[in-house]
Amino acid sequence: MKKICLTVVGMYFMLLHAFSQVTRDSAAFKPRKLKLDEVNLVSSYYTQNGDHSAVRGGIGSEKVTDLANGVELKWVGWDAHQRKNTLTAGVGIDYHTAASQAYISKTGASRRKDGTRLYPSLDWTREDERKGTSFSLGAYYSNEFNYQSLGFSAGGTKKTKTNGEFGLKLSGYFDKVKLIFPSEFEPAYPSGGGGSGGGRENEHPNYGSSPRETYTASFSFTQVINTRLQAAFLFDLVEQHGYLGLPFHRVYFNDATDLVEKLPSNRFKLPLGVRLNYFLGDKVILRSYYRYYVDNWGIRSHTASLEVPVKLTPFFSVTPFYRYYTQSAANYFAAYQQHKTTDLYYTSNYALSAFNSHFFGAGIRMAPPKGLFNSHLSSLELRFGHYTQTTDLVSNVISLHMQFK
């Protein structure tokens, strides 16, 4: 009898507890002003070496180092209609050195061997959880010595009743390429505009520039398939027009003369991607990705990657990864002194050649529930990757991401 009484009392308290569950009803809801919610710091160091510099027409050192640092601040708030507003402001700064820059001067005497790129961005997202929709606007700017870019985007998402979500994002980038030609092709300077023999990039009074525009429609569909598997289908339509080469890339023809690379003024790209993530058991995750790419310059490519995060504890994981990439050459590519002078378009930029590449490495991630060292540092990721191309280009990249909450 005592047991029955205790059971009934226990059930009563369980019911009380169930009814005391907090629900967000609209009467109790109070809007909240935007409040700093998250800070992300990302740093990377990249080194590269190879022997097919586009500046020298497909020969010469491709040695590059790049130190990239970025900070992103995210504010979150709720308005009177219970919509979540997220404002994200970011700024990045890259410092790079490139051996090939010296050869903008034909003799290798160009003084500018490094550069800095600054790129702020601003994004705003409004999410209506009750309707399962979101709307976002973004702006982006990038500035470096020879290149400026201004970008805008607008997008939206809509959740389905079956754990899916459709997304559409439209972007436009309006770029300016500064016309820094190899020294032998520099236009005549007005008197006092600089010395001779190249290497005048710092003092040239008035470089011209040429526009480049990129318009993108990005479609996505994500779907939960079961309690362990989810997928994303990604599809971009990209249209570019304007000056799509770089003015300091040389091409040497089979008669040993040289010119600046010449590429068509429009390019249409069609990448299609699928991502499948599967939680295997309790400790292993399989993150897979495949992309097929085709463009109207003749490039076809396949990309496949697999990452396997292994959770050594619920808050510490190690992630080995591997990525394979293969592409065919653009119709306009030929190696050093392989182009004919009768070719309409020509480039010796090996990014447009036929090659395969392998990228592999590992990362670690720590995200204890109370933060690392009991601080606001909520997660830390460190990742190293080694990249090789069959063009003999080799690079290494190490990245660090710290998230503060």
Interface of this chain with other proteins, residues 39 to 68, rule: CB under 8 A: 40, 42, 44, 46, 48, 53-55, 64, 66, 68
- 343-362: which residues touch other proteins (CB under 8 A)? 351-352, 357, 359
8 A C-beta contact, residue 219 and residue 168? yes
* Pattern 267-306, other proteins, x by CB under 8 A: --x-xxxxxxx-x-----x-x-x-xxxxx-x-xxxxx---
Instruction: Return the residues of window 6-45 that contact other proteins according to CB under 8 A.
Output: 40, 42, 44
Beta bridge partners of 179: none
93 binds other proteins (CB under 8 A): no
The CB-of-308 to other proteins minimum distance in angstroms stands at 10
Residues 6+ apart with CB under 8 A from 194: 200, 203, 204
Report the nearest approach of other proteins to the CB of residue 60 (Å): 11
- Find the angle CA(94)-CA(379)-CA(275) to the nearest 5 degrees: 75
CB proximity list for 56: less than 8 A, separation 6 or greater: 100, 103, 250
Distances, alpha carbon 99 to alpha carbons 47, 145, 260, 354, in Å: 12, 16, 19, 24
Q: Candidates 14-22, 147-155, 195-203, 253-261: pick the segment binding other proteins (CB under 8 A).
A: 147-155
Query: Dihedral (C-alpha) 225, 134, 214, 112: value to the nearest 10 degrees?
Result: -100
Nearest to residue 393, comparing CAs of 46, 61, 55? 61
| Assigned token pair, 201 | 């990039």
**21 contact partners, CB below 8 Å, separation of at least 6:** none
| Closest distance to other proteins from the beta carbon of 192 (Å) | 27
**Could you say which of 23, 162, 206, 374 contacts other proteins (CB under 8 A)?**
162
The correct pick among 58, 198, 199, 363 for binding other proteins (CB under 8 A) is 363
Residue selected from 327, 336, 346, 377 as contacting other proteins according to rule CB under 8 A: 327
The backbone torsions φ and ψ at residue 225, rounded to the nearest 5 degrees and listed phi first, read -95, -45
CB of 160 to other proteins, least distance (A): 10
Instruction: Report the first-to-last Cα separation within the chain, whole angstroms.
Output: 52
Find the shortest distance in angstroms from Cβ 222 to other proteins.
Answer: 5
Of 79 and 328, nearer to other proteins (C-beta) is 328
Q: Which is nearer to other proteins, 105 or 403 (CB)?
A: 403
Binding status of residue 177 toward other proteins by CB under 8 A = yes
Q: How far apart are CA 311 and CA 281, in angstroms?
A: 11
Contacting residues for 164 by C-beta, under 8 A, at least 6 apart: 221, 222, 223, 224
Which CB, 246 or 251, lies closer to other proteins?
Answer: 246
Count of CB atoms situated within 10 Å of the CB of 31: 12
Q: What residues from 248 to 267 belong to the interface with other proteins (CB under 8 A)?
A: 248
Query: Of 84 and 401, which has the nearer Cβ to other proteins?
Result: 401
Burial pattern 237-253, b for ≥16 Cβ within 10 A else e, equals ebebebbbbbbbbbbbb
Rounded to a whole number of angstroms, the minimum distance from the CB of residue 33 to other proteins is: 26
Residues 71-90 as x/- pattern, contact with other proteins by CB under 8 A? -x------------------
Pick one of 124, 166, 173, 322: the residue that binds other proteins (CB under 8 A). Answer: 173
How many residues bind to other proteins according to rule CB under 8 A?
109
SS3 4: helix
Nearer to other proteins, 190 or 281 (CB): 281
User: x-or-dash pattern for other proteins, window 204-243, by CB under 8 A?
Assistant: ----------x-x-x-xxxxxxxxx-xxxxxxx-x-x---
Q: Quick one: how far is CA 19 from the chain centroid?
A: 47
Task: Decide whether 254 or 386 has the Cβ nearer to other proteins.
Answer: 386
Tally of CB atoms within 10 A around 34: 14
Question: Cβ closer to other proteins: 126 or 275?
Answer: 275
- Verify binding: residue 134, other proteins, rule CB under 8 A: no
Q: Return the number of the residue (283 or 340) whose C-beta is nearest other proteins.
A: 283
- For 226-251, the DSSP string reads SSSEEEEEEEEEEEEEE--S-TT-EE
307-326 residues in contact with other proteins (CB under 8 A) are: 309, 311, 317, 319, 325
